[in-house]
Amino acid sequence: MSPEPTLRLRIDKQALASNWRELDRMSGTASAGAAVKADCYGLGIDQCVPTLRDAGARHFFVAHWSEVAALRAHIDGAQIAVLHGPVHDSDVAYALETGAVPVINSLDQARRWTSGTAGANAKCHLMIDTGINRLGVAPSELSDPAIAALNIDIAMSHLANADENSAMNARQLSAFRECLDAVSHDSASLSNSAGIGLGTDYAFDLTRPGLSLYGGVPRDELLGVIKQVAHVQVAIIQTRMLKAGDAVGYNGEFTAKTPMRVGTVSLGYADGFLRVRGPGAVLMAGERALRILGKVSMDMVVVDLSEADDLGEGDWLELPFHLPDAAQQSAVSQYELLTTLGHRFAR
Ligand SMILES: *Cc1c(COP(=O)(O)O)cnc(C)c1O
């Protein structure tokens, strides 16, 4: 048995299931899949995928082939799609062995898939680049014989500016529609979380939410709909009295003006709490906000306990983690707040 943790990540599974259902509802006649790459955006495949599966998700998206195995353990018959596609020949063999379906992103990947699966007529997905210029074949490449040789299940594209009211959204939508006429496919998919907020015109047959499953709110349409999933709890590991003039932490950025009681809390960079998040941040003891003093110092922060005599070593505090608010407070994106949580939390 491992000793008691001083960091906990509580995953609210009801909120997670509710988020998937709401995103599925907002997808209209399309169904919602689930982007579960990066270990469910840092929250944990083992904690999240069974809930998403039981809520009804049937299409799971990861970025790397190395993410397939952990996911397979939890889904039975649902489909795993690998967004980065077959970069190496060994990826093709791995796809055939595991049943994970590659997203083809280039003519090279298309040829690699076709030659590696010779005769199998194996299904793949196709990413079409309609303006993000990241992954995907260009619309002008769709007439290439390498694309015609594919057996395409989902034809997809990815929105670059869906979290903004940008003219780019409508441009990508109409470009995607034209591409769908040019390539044979079973179904079509365009929207990520923010795209779902743009409305059902953008939904096609399948949506691919990630961020909002885990509590992210990239557009106002999702405010009040999406619930907080991750709750970050941190323990006080030591308390101390400062004298007037005592400085706290690296570079002594906070100096006590009067004697005061402070607590050292086990939360640091490796837990996603980067130095940029320190200034102005608080930890909550119930309704009380305790300010963080000085710099985040590797594995620790120091909080002001002058108004919290009752708190001592071993007591738990909560890091405010309502993602839109936390992102605004810290200038760290909602994606980064989640994916940098690290591996030291008891989940
Ligand atoms: C990560 C990803 C998603 C999910 O995006 P969110 O903004 O997190 O909802 C959807 N589609 C693709 C291709 C992705 O890479």
Whether 37 is catalytic? yes
Rg for the chain, CA atoms, rounded: 23
User: From the alpha carbon of 127, which atom of ligand 1 is closest?
Assistant: 13
Q: Which of 37, 94, 214, 295 is catalytic?
A: 37
Tell me what pLDDT residue 119 has. 73
Residue 294 Cβ < 6 Å to ligand 1: no
**Which ligand 1 atom is at minimum distance from the Cα of 196?**
9
125 contacts 101 by C-beta, under 8 angstroms? yes
Q: What is the distance in A from the centroid of ligand 1 to the CA of 111?
A: 25
* Helix H or strand E encompassing 48: helix 45-55
What integer pLDDT is reported at residue 331 of this predicted model? 86
Task: Compute the distance between CA of residue 81 and CA of residue 314 in angstroms, rounded to an integer.
Answer: 43
Compute the distance from residue 41 Cα to the ligand 1 centre, in Å. Answer: 11
Measured CA to CA, the distance from residue 66 to residue 273 in angstroms comes to 26
Q: What is the rounded CA–CA span in Å between residue 315 and residue 285?
A: 9
Q: How far away, in angstroms, is 67 Cα from ligand 1 center?
A: 15
What is residue 121's predicted lDDT score, i.e. its pLDDT? 81
Ligand 1 center to 321 CA (angstroms): 21
Q: Is the CB of 209 under 6 A from ligand 1?
A: yes
Cβ atoms of 125 and 156 closer than 8 Å: yes
pLDDT value for 117: 94
pLDDT, residue 87, reads 97
Q: Check residue 267 and give its pLDDT.
A: 97
**Ligand 1 in reach of 169 Cβ (< 6 A):** no
C-beta separation of 89 from 114 below 8 A: no
Could you list the mean pLDDT of each consecutive 10-residue stretch along the chain, which spans 347 residues? Answer: 91 98 98 98 97 98 98 92 97 96 98 91 96 97 97 98 97 98 98 98 98 98 98 98 96 96 97 92 97 95 96 97 94 96 94
From atom 4 of ligand 1, which residue's Cα is the shortest distance away? 210
Q: Which atom of ligand 1 is nearest to the CA of 35?
A: 4
Question: Cα(66) to centroid of ligand 1, in Å?
Answer: 18
Active-site residue (options: 13, 250, 257, 295): 250
- Residues 177, 165: Cα–Cα separation, whole Å: 20
Q: Quick: pLDDT tens for 11-23.
A: 999 999 999 999 9
Longest dimension (CA), the chain: 78
Instruction: Tell whether ligand 1 has an atom less than 6 A from the beta carbon of residue 126.
Output: no
- pLDDT score at 2: 82
The answer, yes or no, to whether any atom of ligand 1 lies below 6 A from the CB of 210, is yes
pLDDT digit string, tens, across residues 58-83:
999 999 999 999 999 999 888 999 99
Euclidean distance between CA atoms 88 and 71, whole angstroms:
21
Neighbours of 301 (CB within 10 A): 28
